[in-house]
């Protein structure tokens, strides 16, 4: 038996989290990711050796830089057109992976090549997502 299609398209899913939870996630997720990233970079740099004060300082500075850049990208990238939006986010991801890889002692060329490969892959994924979630004039469908 045939049924009528719902009028008006798809209904938006309800937002079950409060504004406080969204605010906590907006800054909490970059902080947690930054702490993990800083620890990972410091561990790569010491290469299994002893933990020193300089190594801890390096990890803290790396974590702080990651947190600041992550919040900046999350804040300002959505204001850009889809091409630049994708490029900024993928550039951040590629630079982060390339920097982590460079801390293992590998050459700059290998680190750059890995960073560019990650950038290209992430760009394709983000661009596809943003391209398929916009209308004909480039306005995001929310």
Reduced to 3 states (helix: H, G, I; strand: E, B; else coil), residue 134 is: strand
Q: What does the domain layout of the chain look like in residue ranges?
A: 20-79, 81-142
- The model's pTM is 0.80
pLDDT tens, the chain, 142 aa long:
566 555 555 566 777 788 888 888 889 999 999 999 999 999 999 888 888 999 999 999 999 999 999 999 999 988 888 888 889 999 999 999 999 999 998 999 999 999 999 999 999 999 888 888 766 566 666 6
Nearest Cα residue to 87 out of 117, 132, 120: 120
Contact partners, residue 67, CB within 8 Å, separation at least 6: 30, 31, 33, 34
Instruction: Give whole-number Cα distances, 130 to 77, 82, 87, 133, in Å.
Output: 12, 6, 12, 5
């Amino acid at each position: 038996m045939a049924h009528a299609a719902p009028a008006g398209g798809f209904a938006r899913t309800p937002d079950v989290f409060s504004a406080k939870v969204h605010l906590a996630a907006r800054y909490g997720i970059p902080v947690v990711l930054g702490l993990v990233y800083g620890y990972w970079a410091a561990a790569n740099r010491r290469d299994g050796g002893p933990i020193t004060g300089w190594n801890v300082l390096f990890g803290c500075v790396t974590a702080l830089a990651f947190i600041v850049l992550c919040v900046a990208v999350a804040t300002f990238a959505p204001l850009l057109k889809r091409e630049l939006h994708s490029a900024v986010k993928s550039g951040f991801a590629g630079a982060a992976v390339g920097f982590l890889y460079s801390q293992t002692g590998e050459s700059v060329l290998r680190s750059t090549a890995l960073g560019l490969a990650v950038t290209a892959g992430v760009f394709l994924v983000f661009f596809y997502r943003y391209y398929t979630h916009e209308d004909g004039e480039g306005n995001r469908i929310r």
